[in-house]
Amino acid sequence: MIAPWALAGYELPHHSFPLGVDGWWRGPKIARADCDAIGLQHGGELPDGSQRLRPLDWLKFEQLHAPHLDANADCTPNSPGWVAARLLSARHAFAAPRPAPTWMAILNLTPDSFSDGGKLASESDLIRTAINSVQHGAKWLDLGAESTRPGAKPVSNETQLSKLLPAIELLLACPELTVARIKISIDTQSAVVAKACLGAGANMINDVSALSDPEMAQVAAAANAKLTIMHMRGTPADMQERTQYDFLLGDVFDELLLRAHRAMISGVSPKRLFLDPGIGFSKTAEQSQRLMGQLHIWRASGFQSLAGPSRKSFMAPFLNNAEPNQRDLGTAGAAALCASAGVDVIRLHTGEKIWDAAKVAWGCTSTNLE
């Protein structure tokens, strides 16, 4: 079955995902007459100009339109067959089996991160935290030397590398981490920093700006590295002034998939791309809550997904406005929500007990109980 990102006109907006109401799906604009002709119900327009669409019979719809999923088929963008192909490819991606999620442990090397700034200032603290994370189930260590909290200012490449390169060397020389085959991710918006860290042994770039540096995708492609691109509008300094959306789910989905398209054009394999909806970035608390409740839609993109709900402010209203370092039980609930929704990588400050909640949630929701 052809993946959504392999279809003609993939870079066009109004990608398909389930709306969760009576079987309706989001889809591109299509005339009502064309809907009738290809076996679709038309449920009206969404605020961003996309449409509510629903096949009258999924099985019959697939039998009729499966040829449009052939990569060699003549399927002109915006034609009825193309709309059908978008719906079918997204549905197949959405229904595909999902592996167990993995935990990415956050290791902030900054003095001003929102919940744990300055706690890993020494080599012994860094190693101890890394080993503890691995012992509790972490498969990734995400190193960052530039805070991306709201209002944070940029950090120079030199300053980032002065912290990241020694940390990578230290972690890769640790026997306990080597035996565990731990992988290292670098949280940076700079292609210069990313290139140097990949050369030092890192395995993934975690770019919260979704390729604001025009060289980032080429760096990832040249190193055959994994690449996470996160949805954010603007920069950490002004992102919370950019929270106006026509249709939150659709706008975030389309904006991020457009960056994924750019990454693929630059040579990044779609199988090495991870999409992060950016909880807390360019979103109000209420918007982040809504995205957390709809994390399952990212499975329809055909890409792997990553989410970072750990200690974020969206959960504060449910926790008597607790401070970030008092939100670990709330984070356990958020991690379980991510796991049950099929998120592939869950980014957390700590996994002790929290990761148990995620594993149980995934185990229960991934089992066929019929």
Rounded distance between C-alpha atoms, residue 150 and residue 128, angstroms: 28
- Catalytic residue, from 54, 86, 312, 327: name it: 312
* CATH number, position 180: 3.20.20.20
Question: What band does 370 get if pLDDT is binned at 50, 70 and 90?
Answer: very low
Collapsing DSSP states into helix, strand and coil, what is residue 325? helix
Query: Which residues on neighbouring strands pair with residue 347, listed in sequence order?
Result: 104
Answer yes or no: 312 catalytic: yes
- Pair 26, 142 in one domain: no
- Pair 47, 128 in one domain: no
Give the tens place of pLDDT for each residue, 218-253.
999 999 999 999 999 998 889 999 999 999 999 999
pLDDT exceeds 60 at position 305: yes
Give the tens place of pLDDT for each residue, 308-340.
999 999 999 999 999 998 999 999 999 999 999
pLDDT at 149: 83
pLDDT exceeds 90 at position 42: yes
What is the rounded average pLDDT of the residues 264-281? 97
pLDDT exceeds 60 at position 119: no
Pairing of the two strands 226-230 and 138-144:
unpaired
- Pair 79, 194 in one domain: no
Pairing of the two strands 226-230 and 273-276:
parallel
- Pair 49, 195 in one domain: no
370 part of a folded domain? no
Do 58 and 88 contact (CB within 8 A), yes or no? no
pLDDT at 167: 95
Rounded distance between C-alpha atoms, residue 142 and residue 183, angstroms: 9
Answer yes or no: 327 catalytic: no
pLDDT exceeds 80 at position 73: no
Cα 19 off chain centre by: 18
- Pair 131, 268 in one domain: yes
Rounded distance between C-alpha atoms, residue 280 and residue 309, angstroms: 8
- For the chain, the domain total comes to 2
Rounded distance between C-alpha atoms, residue 103 and residue 335, angstroms: 10
| Rg of the chain taking only CA atoms, in angstroms | 21
pLDDT exceeds 90 at position 143: yes
Instruction: Provide, rounded to the nearest whole percent, the portion of the chain with pLDDT above 90.
Output: 78
Question: What band does 71 get if pLDDT is binned at 50, 70 and 90?
Answer: low
Do 287 and 243 contact (CB within 8 A), yes or no? yes
- Catalytic residue, from 233, 347, 353, 359: name it: 347
pLDDT at 369: 44
Print the domain residue range for 56: 4-95
pLDDT at 76: 84
What is the rounded average pLDDT of the residues 347-361? 91
